Chains A and B, each alone.
Chain A
Amino acid sequence: MRKRRVVGPTAWILGGSGLFIGAVAAWLVGQGNPGNMGLCIACFLRDITGFFVGGITNQGAVAYIRPEIIGIILGAMGAALVTREFRPRGGSAPLIRFVLGFIFMSGALIFLGCTVRAWLRLGGGDLTAIWGVLGIVAGVLLGIVALKRGFNLGRARAIARPVGWILPAFAVVLLVFALIATFGTKPEFATQTMEGAFATGDTPAAVFLKTDGEPSQVLKPEGGSRAEDGSIVAEDGSVAASAESVAAAKPQPGGKRAVLWVSLIAGLAIGVVAQRSRFCTIGGIRDAILVRRYDLLFGVIGLLIGSTIVNLLLGQYDLGFANQPVAHNDALGSFAAMTVATFAAMLLGGCPFRQVIMGSEGDSDSTTAVAGMLVGAGFMHWAGLASSAKGLAPNAWLAMGVMALVLVAVALFGARKTA
């Protein structure tokens, strides 16, 4: 075989796309999104779950329809329609893809971020993300072993056209609810984290709003108020949170957000760029090792550089391991969680970002994986398995062990010949 070029012209398109997405994501943090969470597919899908079922799943702190997701879906759909790439297809082991999406989300919520946010955390100077990035590499390697053994979920086929429109239709439904909840009144059944809300580390947490840096309105416990000494007391006079814990309270992630239109337009732009470039946060490492093609790798390098530059410019860059926003410092836990999540994504054939983009192009199998992620998010919070800034939940390791077993079983039994 003649010598093959290992970096082609698409490397520049992917590098530029990564740069753009990373820069926009870091800029969204400046616009109000949570720290190093300008864009996070796992976190944002989780927040959407919180809006609909947060009352049941105990997601009061993370409940908000992230307009970025709506924008990404509609932007990618538009780009696919214009370029005649919108093709309804499906039927490649949807049930297994649902389970893989579920497991991906579970791993991501133990790490505290998806494969996009792992790079964005690093781009914000959060060195604890290194363990997550190492986990991504480990997950890719496991996936490659499975692929080399012949792992394949089977071929997708053309399907009834309406089925390909499920994810775009879901985005429109989300947009309607987002507009109602933002500009009208929130529906009775829904949960939405109050904008700018702070929560203490107590169980149950006291939640309050701040005015001029001082706690003003107490949201939880209901009927609670702020005492002279700075503590928060419940209606019956018992102390709900000490003055120290009120002072140390952190913003609830769901309450940190850019203005709806800003998020929506940024999402639209990111959706178009991602659909056209095929940007993927795990495919770069995978292709480099598996087929010795390096173009896709330029995407994540661009993401890292773009987010680092904008974070530095906006004064958001904070290099270190301690006190990083929406992150914990459990090295082994982060590594294992991201290994599990990435292995699941490898078996799906692309990172969660890609699943959203492909679902927007009519790929109903990807839409099924996204559905698995949404359900997985609700489950992880309901079962108390999602991590917090304090670290892993008590049963997180048990959950990861079970998920790892399921992944190995899927990888072992999913080997078949297609060529």
Chain B
Amino acid sequence: MKELDVRGLSCPMPLMHTKKALEDGTREMLVLADSGTAKANVVALLADAGFTVTVEDVGVEYRITAVRD
């Protein structure tokens, strides 16, 4: 599974990094984000790309897991 850490990054870097990570056709991803905005943007982008997204709030960060067939 591909892992991406966008914690602490200002807009639009979480989106830029996520979009770049998708370019190789990856089917499973784990993204770590720590702000509500980064979480919402990354989730929306992954959902738009056809992923099934689950978000786990572990207190200091969000663990965003995305899978597609």
Chain A residues within CB distance 8 Å of chain B: 1-2, 4-6, 8-10, 80, 83-85, 87, 89, 92, 147, 152-158, 278, 280, 283, 286-287, 290-291, 293, 295, 348-350, 354, 358, 361, 363, 365, 418-419
Q: How far is the CA of A54 from the CA of B45 in the complex (A)?
A: 46
Q: How far is the CA of A147 from the CA of B10 in the complex (A)?
A: 11
Q: Are B50 and A80 in contact (CB under 8 A)?
A: no
Q: What is the CB-to-nearest-CB distance from B38 to chain A, in angstroms, rounded to a whole number?
A: 10
Q: How far is the CA of A335 from the CA of B24 in the complex (A)?
A: 40
Q: How far is the CA of A80 from the CA of B37 in the complex (A)?
A: 11
**Which of B12, B41, B60 has the most chain A CB atoms inside 10 A of its CB?**
B12
With contacts A85-B35, A350-B11 known, is A4 near B16, CB below 8 A? Answer: no
Q: Which residues of A contact B57 (CB under 8 A)?
A: 84
With contacts A155-B8, A157-B8, A291-B19 known, is A278 near B41, CB below 8 A? Answer: yes
Q: How far is the CA of A293 from the CA of B44 in the complex (A)?
A: 10
Q: Are B50 and A349 in contact (CB under 8 A)?
A: no
Total interface residues in chain B, CB < 8 Å: 32
With contacts A87-B34, A291-B19 known, is A349 near B12, CB below 8 A? Answer: yes
Q: How far is the CA of A4 from the CA of B18 in the complex (A)?
A: 13
Q: Are A287 and B15 in contact (CB under 8 A)?
A: yes
26 A-B pairs, CB-CB below 8 angstroms?
A: A1-B23, A1-B24, A4-B45, A4-B48, A4-B50, A5-B50, A6-B48, A83-B36, A87-B34, A87-B60, A92-B10, A155-B8, A155-B9, A280-B11, A283-B12, A291-B16, A291-B45, A293-B15, A293-B48, A349-B10, A349-B12, A350-B10, A358-B35, A418-B13, A419-B4, A419-B17
With contacts A5-B49, A10-B40 known, is A287 near B12, CB below 8 A? Answer: yes
In the complex, which residue of chain B has the Cβ closest to the Cβ of A278?
Answer: B37
Q: What is the CB-to-nearest-CB distance from A151 to chain B, in angstroms, rounded to a whole number?
A: 9
